[in-house]
Amino acid sequence: MAFLKTQELTKERFSLLLLDLEEYYFEQHTAYHVTTSSKKDRKVRGSFKVCSRSAIFDPEDLSEPILKIPLRDCKKIEFVESENNPFNEPSVISILCVQVIYIKESNVIAPYRNERGEKKLTFQLEGWRKTEDVVQTLLQLHRASCLEKLGDQTAMIAANLQSRLARSSFDKNCFQSVAEMPHMECAVEMVMPLVCNPGHVCITDESLYFQPLNGYPQQVIQIKLQRVKRIYKRRHGLRPLGLEVFCTENDFCSDIYLKFYKTADRDEIYYYIASFLENHMMEHTAESYMLQWQRGHLSNYQYLLHLNNLADRSCNDLSQYPVFPWVIADYTSAQLDMTNAATFRDLSKPVGALNKERLDRLLARYRGMPEPRFLYGSHYSSPGYVLFYLVRVAPEHMLCLQNGRYDHADRMFNSIGDTWKNCLEGATDFKELIPEFYGDDCSFLENKLSLGLGRRQNGSLVGDVVLPAWASDTRDFLQKHKTALESQYVSENLHEWIDLVFGFKQRGSEAVAAHNVFHPLTYEGGIDCDSIEDPDQRIAMLTQILEFGQTPKQLFTIPHPQRITPRFHNITRSPSSNSPVSELSPASQSEDSSFEDLTEESRKLAWSNMGNLKPISSHKIHKEAVTGIAVTRDGAAIFSTSQDSTLKMFSKELKDFQRSMSFSNMALSSCLMLANGKTVVCSSWDNNVYFYSIPYGRRQDTLMGHDDAVSEMCWFDDRLYTASWDSTVKVWQCASDSSSSHKRSQFQLLAELEHDAGVNTIGLNPAGTLLVSGCKDGTVTIWDTSSYETLQQVHCHTGTIHHMAFSPDSRHVLSVGADSCMKVIDVQTGMVISSVKAEEEQRCFCWDGNSVLCGGQSGDLLLWDLLSNTVTQRIPAHSGAVTALWMSELCSTVITGGEDRQIILWKLQS
């Protein structure tokens, strides 16, 4: 969640949210708050912070409140030298004021306490030689705060800020490497919800750095350019000055949002990063995303996130926060019927037009209104509405927005049903939803912080949000809400809502016809603030625009096409925002997992000799990490998949490259060979599974089965098991088309196995009677493939599970995860009977029940003895993590693939 993400950078009690809106934090000094009494003086150590409109003292003792002294309320600020100092100590700052604001008393987030009346405060700086300079700074800022006109105040503070920025520069000692070459640096502000922090940005040939002027929340923030996935130009404060950088593909929270003082500086850094990413990233337009969404390659959730990003919506800018639609209209039934169209909101109408009686009243007022006319006096998205929904996880943001107070208890976000009812019937309430309603974090619906949000008129305290009757708890509510967003009804009608918010019905005659007309100030280009000469009027107008709400940038000027949905399935989860690299199919999932022709003796002999594994040849065959390996029964052809989106085929011994096939522009995550030896099946991050005919050398079919990346597959007896980051495993009956020997066209969904998190890996036991799945949240689930019932569920890892497989006797399951642990689980009891902590993450493996051949993060192959929990051999292999590992039935041949883009063929030496 964006609010928590920005606050994770610091553990300090102080926050920029304690400042007034559009106030800057300039500098801090270690200091003592000195109070005197009849008996003795008392000193409280802490940090004295100089801000553009206030002085703040943040005590180290958490039981002491933070003191905020508005400079406009100061009657005298003076430097008291030691000889006149009643404490007979180094010089102090003496402040005589008429108001002190007490914040976080007893270290509790609560409305601020304002104490009025003349009061004298004394602060002694630890570096006392600076005391006189600090006093001079406070006096200068005090003069600015006391100016009559707001425009004059703002101009004087801005001059002070620019002077500070001009006197400082980026400290190049912060570079991570002495070899880095700086390209440019300039003054900027880092934008976070409700606050901006000034500093310097510097871009080198390797990284983007931001160094805050005040060292808060840390001395420097670094983003490696090679990690960047997306960059967007932003308009901030209605001006083209923003730049937002994402290091994730589908997350709506960026890694940094910068506001420049000059558009030319913003553009130079934008194009520098864009040119660096030219070979790593494809620039997407609204149309390119639309095509992917139409074809089912993007879920509704993903598509809406991308449209919000393209339309300048950012989680760091509350005046332009991502906007999502209400999709459910039924908040009273005990059961939610998603087969009934009446369950859903009419997506062809804005919220204000959903209630005909209210619309008639609004139209009557509209017709009698002088130009420019508008139907709705409030917007569907504004900072106040965002914080209305998120007050339980972002209370300090609400206090910042509302001058240290919460809203009245009866006006808080108390109930989902009541909020929907008010949006239907309220005279001025037309708000839509935010992405959190379709995410995985339900904390915004729960008062986990035990905040004192007030008592309602009926006497009840404001606590958790009241859920509709059809939701058993907050997790269930989000689950069903996400299911509704991805439902058949919404998929078929979402384009009409997009027309209203991002498209051709946003403005003009089409907006009038659709009853979609908001106040002129909410539209991009509705007014040119720079043309207003009076600075006070200009600031007031800008503030009104930013706080009232803004309509997204218009992305489409013609009707948006409908989604193609004949093969689209209702789902239970929207895609996760941050997906790790997926793994390959283990050996037990290859084209023939029968051990009938293998004697126990031969297997034991091979595994006892596994330390003699020798590399035969290596080939750099892909442009990105290898994700899967499959081999024909006779070993004549070796297939590999990669994050570079290609399936490649090589002849025996990897000596002769023969074919390269690309099914989409997204990564392939795994591959397997069907028993007939004529078909390779590939899973993809584009949510599809592809069937490739070896004899015909082409794609023979596509299974569009999921709503997020397909992470891994298994095959047994014409049944395909597909795991996905959409938190499901699906079981398909795949029957060949009798009329064609090369066409496989019948896919029947037999079962959908639901999980609480994205599924990263699956495995079948040799007999095909058991399935094991491993999730991103560290949960292992064992299923019966005849009844699809859960036999065991064990939360045994603290992070993503990379790979898991049954032992040959099906009694145990081995799993490896991002927590660097290897866990052995007893299938019958679900007990973790062995846990090994490795020195590094293990990404993939093969095992015989006792010994494990692992591919590690370092690129080495490790041979583990699970009985003694020791590494018996380390075999140097790849220069990057081992990401794919295949072993022949007789255990004599091993093929590995890695992040270094290489495939290595290994032979077991006798």
Instruction: Enter the tokens of residue 601.
Output: 């003796």
User: In sequence order, which residues have a C-beta less than 8 Å from that of residue 111 and are 6 or more positions away?
Assistant: 399, 404, 405, 406
Contact 755, 726 (CB under 8 A): no
Residue 333, domain member (yes or no): yes
> How many residues does this entry show for the chain?
910
CA distance 253 to 5: 8
Question: 166, 183, 211 — which closes off a domain?
Answer: 166
Q: Where are the beta strands (DSSP E) in 785-890?
A: 790-795, 801-806, 812-817, 821-826, 832-837, 842-847, 851-856, 861-865, 870-875, 882-887
- Positions in the chain whose pLDDT score sits under 70: 1-11, 38-39, 82-89, 127-129, 278-284, 287-288, 291-292, 295, 526-533, 535-539, 541-542, 545-546, 564-600, 652-657, 736-745, 829, 867-869
**Per-residue model confidence (pLDDT) at position 283:** 57
Q: Are residues 181 and 108 in the same domain?
A: no
User: What's the gap between Cα 640 and its chain centre?
Assistant: 30
Question: 492, 520, 548 — which closes off a domain?
Answer: 548
Strand partners, 433: 324
Residue 331, domain member (yes or no): yes
Q: Are residues 272 and 330 in the same domain?
A: no
Q: Which residue has the tokens 């209702």?
A: 570
The helix/strand/coil state of 127 is: coil
CA distance 17 to 192: 10
Q: Are residues 225 and 245 in the same domain?
A: yes
Q: Are residues 158 and 255 in the same domain?
A: no
Residue 749, domain member (yes or no): yes
CA distance 295 to 293: 5
Residue 150, domain member (yes or no): yes
Residue 15, domain member (yes or no): yes
CA distance 708 to 687: 5
The Cβ of residue 338 has, within 10 Å, a number of other Cβ atoms equal to: 18
Q: In whole angstroms, how far apart are CA 10 and each of 6, 218, 306, 552? A: 8, 7, 29, 32
Range of the domain at 190: 172-283
Q: Are residues 191 and 321 in the same domain?
A: no
Q: Are residues 515 and 370 in the same domain?
A: yes
Instruction: Enter the tokens of residue 784.
Output: 């019966």
Contact 733, 748 (CB under 8 A): yes
Question: 126, 141, 166 — which closes off a domain?
Answer: 166
CA distance 336 to 340: 9
Give the DSSP letter of residue 554: P
- Number of domains the chain contains: 4
Q: Are residues 13 and 124 in the same domain?
A: yes
CATH number, position 254: 2.30.29.30
Residue 852, domain member (yes or no): no
Q: Are residues 143 and 179 in the same domain?
A: no
Q: Are residues 156 and 187 in the same domain?
A: no
CA atoms within 13 A on the CB side of 524: 17
Q: Please choose, from the candidates 672, 572, 684, 562, the residue with its C-alpha nearest in 3D space to the C-alpha of residue 297.
A: 684
**Per-residue model confidence (pLDDT) at position 585:** 29
Q: In whole angstroms, how far apart are CA 843 and each of 167, 590, 797, 858? A: 50, 18, 14, 10
CA distance 333 to 319: 34
Q: Are residues 178 and 161 in the same domain?
A: no
Strand partners, 221: 210
What's the sign of the alpha-carbon dihedral 206, 208, 214, 215? negative
Residue 868, domain member (yes or no): no
Residue 590, domain member (yes or no): no
What's the sign of the alpha-carbon dihedral 244, 247, 251, 255? negative
User: In sequence order, which residues have a C-beta less than 8 Å from that of residue 514 and are 6 or more positions away?
Assistant: 348, 349, 350, 353, 499, 500, 505
Contact 447, 413 (CB under 8 A): no
Q: Are residues 160 and 178 in the same domain?
A: no
Q: Are residues 188 and 128 in the same domain?
A: no
